[in-house]
């Protein structure tokens, strides 16, 4: 039975493949509390005031173009109505999603936005993806068409970069830590244990995978990129645009500035710490040049035994393309190579699909190949002409015709015997695959295929020209990516928290309605001092509605004393007071 999705769709979102739609969740805008709204308001006011002088010129214009305001957390529906004018869309997800899935969303020109928002205690920086980072950091810059195309192309290439099993472990560890840090009431020991797991993984000397290098490129451009000159760079990276602390820190001389190049792919990063160095690109066009140079090093464009082995090591669904254009998608578990390191045989385990030009071949989907796929590839022994290049006369001479018994040996020593039932050709008329009945395939002393296994599908082709993550046909594997078992949780709220949220709401309503009467103000102020004396953001919100009331001086002095007595929030209070002063001066 068809059920209506819980999220708001549009032309771009509706076209997403099923394996990506599984990550989309409703934004549930009403779940944002008045505290969440105050956090957004504080960050955005402060960031925009500061970023107007240090961010790329596209940033401030982009805020308007993408429907992101300073006063309230943006709704996904409202953003999408505006984003469609620049050819993009946005969806809400639950925190970090698998790296290839994240990239694939970008390839479809859809921004992935973690709709949760950081807790007040993490207002300056959070390692968890949140709506401040995603909406206020990423969205504005895509209003620049050159950057938007870079982001799309990065996604298209990144979606096919091969992960290692180590990458999967790191992804799960980082996701778990980010969720724990933003959860309420979590035992500090649990957070420490999650942090130690990341440190354990980071301490391992692992050769960086294709995805690890691609994520480095993403990190040093999309997340932490600077643009302009080394002497006078501007910010365009979302991690910097959305972080109160790092947007200032990055401009200091302590942070080394490096001309951007493909070498950035080798520079690892630590998501839990400020970055000791940043890369500066002179313009967005260089980003595309570097990306293309890097893409030329990937198995996507090189194929071969190395690419296949990377897929085997990843233990995830991937695809190889043969020189005839045939594409095989599944979990590759074995390869045999010859003395020249050429692949002569491969196997998948579990569901497998065959495709040509990204379209699944009829009768060769996962339902047909449920338990795996195996085949030799290469040239025939003592015959220089590859099978795929044989003309009608050659094929007839070697019995490559329906209902003919085949018996031949590959250069590799693999032998095949069986009744040729039929074949499949590509659009040039060349054989891509033949089906054999009563087939036996042997290599040295090993029987690779027996007649009792059923019909044998043998690949025709001599080499692997491409190997990449994911499926050739986007519809072959509806569950291509497995969602993490670690999910965000919404804790039960205590009465004290509920009362605090109520106070924030009262203050907001007085500000919006502009009816801050003296009696109401004194009542609220008395309650704040007695029940929530250290709620600095609430007091700042309250101060803003005091106007010329006599209570204004008392609240200001109270905040100043709070600042002096607590170094952790001193700069936040000072900057909040400056915000209010700027707003008052502009009225």
Q: What does the H/E/C string look like for 231-263?
A: CCEEECCHHHHCCHHHHHHCCCCCCEEEECCHH
- Name the DSSP letter for residue 363: T
* Burial annotation 272-291 (CB, 10 A radius, 16+ → b, else e): eeebeebbbbeebebbbebb
Asked if pLDDT for residue 184 goes beyond 70, the answer is no
Q: Stretch 463-484: mean pLDDT, rounded?
A: 91
Closest CA to 562 of 586, 526, 587, 538: 538
Q: How confident is the model at residue 493 (pLDDT cuts 50, 70, 90)?
A: confident
Name the residue with higher pLDDT: 421 or 400: 421
Q: How confident is the model at residue 489 (pLDDT cuts 50, 70, 90)?
A: low
Closest CA to 94 of 33, 32, 25: 25
The count of other CB atoms within 10 Å of the CB of residue 465 is 17
* Mean pLDDT computed over every residue of the chain: 89
Relative to beta strand 464-469, strand 446-449 is unpaired
pLDDT of residue 520: 83
Q: Stretch 490-508: mean pLDDT, rounded?
A: 87
The count of other CB atoms within 10 Å of the CB of residue 263 is 13
Q: How confident is the model at residue 587 (pLDDT cuts 50, 70, 90)?
A: low
Q: What is the pTM of this model?
A: 0.87
CA angle 297, 298, 303 (to 5 degrees): 110
Distant-in-sequence, close-in-space partners of 466: CB < 8 Å, separation ≥ 6: 299, 300, 301, 302, 303, 307, 319, 320, 321
Segment 420-444, tens digit of pLDDT: 999 899 998 889 999 999 999 999 9
Asked if pLDDT for residue 516 goes beyond 90, the answer is no
- Homologous superfamily (CATH) of 11-292 is Aromatic amino acid hydroxylase (1.10.800.10)
The listed range with the strongest mean pLDDT (38-47, 76-85, 366-375) is 366-375
Rounded to the nearest 10 degrees, the angle between the axes of helix 34-54 and helix 58-65 is 140
Q: CA of 132: how far to CAs of 142, 239, 504, 583, in Å?
A: 16, 10, 20, 22
Asked if pLDDT for residue 2 goes beyond 80, the answer is no
pLDDT of residue 253: 87
If you search the block for the tokens 């724990």, which residue do you land on?
A: 180
pLDDT of residue 100: 92
pLDDT of residue 158: 96
Q: Stretch 95-109: mean pLDDT, rounded?
A: 91
Q: Stretch 35-43: mean pLDDT, rounded?
A: 93
Across the beta sheet with 277-281, the strand order is 233-235, 226-228, 277-281, 256-259
Tokens coding 273: 């710490």
Alpha-helical regions (H) of 108-222 = 131, 145-158, 165-182, 188-203, 210-218
Asked if pLDDT for residue 1 goes beyond 50, the answer is no
Relative to beta strand 464-469, strand 456-459 is unpaired
Contact 179, 486 (CB under 8 A): yes
Segment 545-584, tens digit of pLDDT: 887 678 899 999 999 999 998 888 998 999 899 888 887 7
Segment 254-290, tens digit of pLDDT: 899 999 999 999 998 877 777 889 999 999 999 999 9
| Percent of the chain whose predicted confidence (pLDDT) is above 70 | 96
Asked if pLDDT for residue 350 goes beyond 80, the answer is yes
The HSE-up count of residue 113 (CA atoms within 13 Å, CB side) is 31
The HSE-up count of residue 493 (CA atoms within 13 Å, CB side) is 11
**Comparing 22-36, 109-123, 388-402, 462-476, which segment has the lowest mean pLDDT?**
388-402
**HEC per residue, 81-139:** HHHHHHCCEEEEECCCCCHHHHHHHHHCCEEEEECCCCCHHHCCCCCCCCHHHHHHHHH
**Comparing 200-214, 336-350, 437-451, 467-481, which segment has the lowest mean pLDDT?**
200-214
Contact 423, 434 (CB under 8 A): yes
Distant-in-sequence, close-in-space partners of 139: CB < 8 Å, separation ≥ 6: 62, 66, 68, 79, 83, 90, 111, 113
CA distance 543 to 507: 10
pLDDT of residue 314: 93
pLDDT of residue 586: 66
Closest CA to 228 of 284, 174, 271: 284
CA distance 209 to 310: 8
Asked if pLDDT for residue 3 goes beyond 60, the answer is no
Which stretches of 285-341 are assigned E, i.e. beta strand?
318-322, 326-337
Q: Stretch 345-373: mean pLDDT, rounded?
A: 96
Relative to beta strand 226-228, strand 233-235 is antiparallel
Contact 359, 438 (CB under 8 A): no
Name the residue with higher pLDDT: 8 or 130: 130
- Residue 356: which H helix or E strand, with range? strand 343-356
pLDDT of residue 445: 92
Beta bridge partners of 348: 332, 373
């Amino acid at each position: 039975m068809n059920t209506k999705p819980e999220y708001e769709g549009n032309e771009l979102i509706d076209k997403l493949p099923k394996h990506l739609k599984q990550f989309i969740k409703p934004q549930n805008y009403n779940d944002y509390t008045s505290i969440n709204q105050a956090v957004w308001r504080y960050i955005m006011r402060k960031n925009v005031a500061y970023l107007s002088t240090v961010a790329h010129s596209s940033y401030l214009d982009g805020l308007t173009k993408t429907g992101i305001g300073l006063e309230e957390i943006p709704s996904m529906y409202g953003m999408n109505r505006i984003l469609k004018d620049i050819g993009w869309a946005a969806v809400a997800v639950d925190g970090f999603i698998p790296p290839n899935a994240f990239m694939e969303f970008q390839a479809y020109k859809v921004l992935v936005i973690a709709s949760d928002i950081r807790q007040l205690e993490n207002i300056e920086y959070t390692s968890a993806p949140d709506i401040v980072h995603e909406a206020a950091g990423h969205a504005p810059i895509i209003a620049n068409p050159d950057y938007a195309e870079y982001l799309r192309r990065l996604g298209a290439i990144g979606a096919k970069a091969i992960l290692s099993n180590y990458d999967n472990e790191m992804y799960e560890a980082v996701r778990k830590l980010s969720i724990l840090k933003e959860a309420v009431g979590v035992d500090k020991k649990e957070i420490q244990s999650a942090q130690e797991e990341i440190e354990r993984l980071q301490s391992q000397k692992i050769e960086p995978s294709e995805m690890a290098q691609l994520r480095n490129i993403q990190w040093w451009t999309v997340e932490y990129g600077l643009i302009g000159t080394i002497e006078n760079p501007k910010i365009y990276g979302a991690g910097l645009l959305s972080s109160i602390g790092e947007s200032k820190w990055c401009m200091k001389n302590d942070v080394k500035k490096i001309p951007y190049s493909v070498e950035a792919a080798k520079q690892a990063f630590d998501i839990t710490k400020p970055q000791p160095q940043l890369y500066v690109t002179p313009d967005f066009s260089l980003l595309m040049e570097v990306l293309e140079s890097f893409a030329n090093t990937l198995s996507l464009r090189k194929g071969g035994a190395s690419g296949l082995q990377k897929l085997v090591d990843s233990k995830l669904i991937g695809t190889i393309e043969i020189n005839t254009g045939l594409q095989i998608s599944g979990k590759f578990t074995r390869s045999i190579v010859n003395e020249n390191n050429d692949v002569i045989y491969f196997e998948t385990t579990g569901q497998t699909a065959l495709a040509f030009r990204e379209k699944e071949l009829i009768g060769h989907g996962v339902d047909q190949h449920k338990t795996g796929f195996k085949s030799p590839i290469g040239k025939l022994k003592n015959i220089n002409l590859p099978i795929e290049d044989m003309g009608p006369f050659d094929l007839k001479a070697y019995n490559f015709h329906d209902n003919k018994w085949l018996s031949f040996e590959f250069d590799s020593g693999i032998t095949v015997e069986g009744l040729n039932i039929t074949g499949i050709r590509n659009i040039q008329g060349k054989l891509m695959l033949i089906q054999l009945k009563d087939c036996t395939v042997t290599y040295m002393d090993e029987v690779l295929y027996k007649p009792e296994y059923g019909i044998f599908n043998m690949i025709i082709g001599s080499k692997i020209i491409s190997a990449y993550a994911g499926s050739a046909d986007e519809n072959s594997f509806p569950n291509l990516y497995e969602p993490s078992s670690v999910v965000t949780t919404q804790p039960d709220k205590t009465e004290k928290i509920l009362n605090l949220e109520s106070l924030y709401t009262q203050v907001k309503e007085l500000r919006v309605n502009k009816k801050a009467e003296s009696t109401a103000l004194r009542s609220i102020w008395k309650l704040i001092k007695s029940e929530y004396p250290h709620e600095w953001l609430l007091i700042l919100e309250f101060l803003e509605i005091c106007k010329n009331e006599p209570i204004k001086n008392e609240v200001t002095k109270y905040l100043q004393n709070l600042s002096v007595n607590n170094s952790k929030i001193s700069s936040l209070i000072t900057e909040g007071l400056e915000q209010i002063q700027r707003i008052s001066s502009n009225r």
